[in-house]
Structure 1
Amino acid sequence: MSGINNNKEQEPLPDIPTPVLNDPRPAPDRDQVVSAFKTLEPARNFSTMSKSPCAKESFLDGAAVGLGVGLLKAMRSAPARSAANWGFGAFVLMTVGTWEYCHFKIRQKRQLMAIGQMPVVSTIDIDASKRREAIAARQNNV
């Protein structure tokens, strides 16, 4: 009985706008998606992906798990197409999961460094201190 106003003394129900078919204006979400895709530069974005942190580990873990799941599914006498689908799905899930977990750990480290609970250690400083110790040891031995 929604939409029927039996009480004449109260204010009338608001009019519900009817949807307009073939509205020439695009939906706002579509504009955002299209503008996001226009900013992609596949040649540049995918060529620099290997330089980003966690990329190598994520893809190797995903490939290993995807191959394993696909082979296990194939050995259980599943059709080849089904086994390939399971393997690819496992690859995608493992790659994304490993990527996100690695970046989560990086964010945690950065937060700890920002609040001062984790010292900022540079590998250059460690190498330099090891070189100084080695030089001092050589000078003491001579």
Structure 2
Amino acid sequence: MPGINNNKDKDKDKDKDKEPLPEIPIPVLNDPKPAPDRDQVVSAFKTLEPSRDLSMMTRSPCAKEAFVDGAAFGFGAGLLKAMKSGVGRPAANWGFGAFVLASIGTWEYCHYKLRQKRQLMATGQMPVVSTIDVDAAKRREAIAARQRDV
């Protein structure tokens, strides 16, 4: 008969040959996660040394640029907010918020540029130049120039 599916029995046989799908666990809402082990948290805080960590941060390649840009942007945003509203506290909040956002943005952009540069060096598209070699070459040139002048 036209329009009637005579292959129903064949479809049932195909379904029997297929393996059943694995059951996927359904996540329970508000499922409490196990609390982190107290000893691990305490030992992590014991490894912190603010004087060492802050001194190491200033040697980071992007720290100076990030903090200077953040401070300038924060000062400008706070000043503009103070000029507009004339109130000190909201202006300080805006300035601090702008400082944090600009510092993080500059830090991330600087690290992005460093990653790109390292990737180019790794692929051989950019020559690897040590800053120590460049500084030493500049010093040698300066000494040679002074000796010529004498």
Instruction: Bin the TM-score by the shorter chain.
Output: 0.5 to 0.7
What are the equivalent positions in structure 2 for 1:80-95 lying under 5 Å apart?
A: 80-95=88-103
C-alpha distance in 1 between matches for 2:127 and 2:133? 13
**Normalised TM-score (structure 1):** 0.65
**Normalised TM-score (structure 2):** 0.62
Unaligned runs of 5+ in 1: 1-13
Runs of 4+ in 1 over 3 A off after TM superposition: 28-39, 123-132
Query: 1:66: which partner in 2?
Result: 74
Distance apart, 1:53 and its partner CA: 0.6
Number of aligned residue pairs: 117
Q: Identity of paired residues, percent? A: 68
Query: 2:112: which partner in 1?
Result: 104
Q: Which moved more, 1:95-104 or 1:77-86?
A: 77-86
Give CA-to-partner distance per residue, 1:40-70, whole Å, 9 cap, x none.
2211101221111111111110000000000
Match for 2:76: what amino acid? G
Match for 2:62: what amino acid? C
Larger radius of gyration: 2
Query: 1:52: which partner in 2?
Result: 60
Distance apart, 1:78 and its partner CA: 4.3
Q: Which moved more, 1:29-38 or 1:60-69?
A: 29-38
RMSD (CA atoms): 3.5
C-alpha distance in 2 between matches for 1:106 and 1:113? 11
Distance apart, 1:38 and its partner CA: 4.0
| 1:48 counterpart SS class | helix
Unaligned runs of 5+ in 2: 1-25
Residues 69 and 44 of structure 1: CA distance in aligned 2, closer, same or farther (over 3 Å): same
C-alpha distance in 2 between matches for 1:90 and 1:30? 36
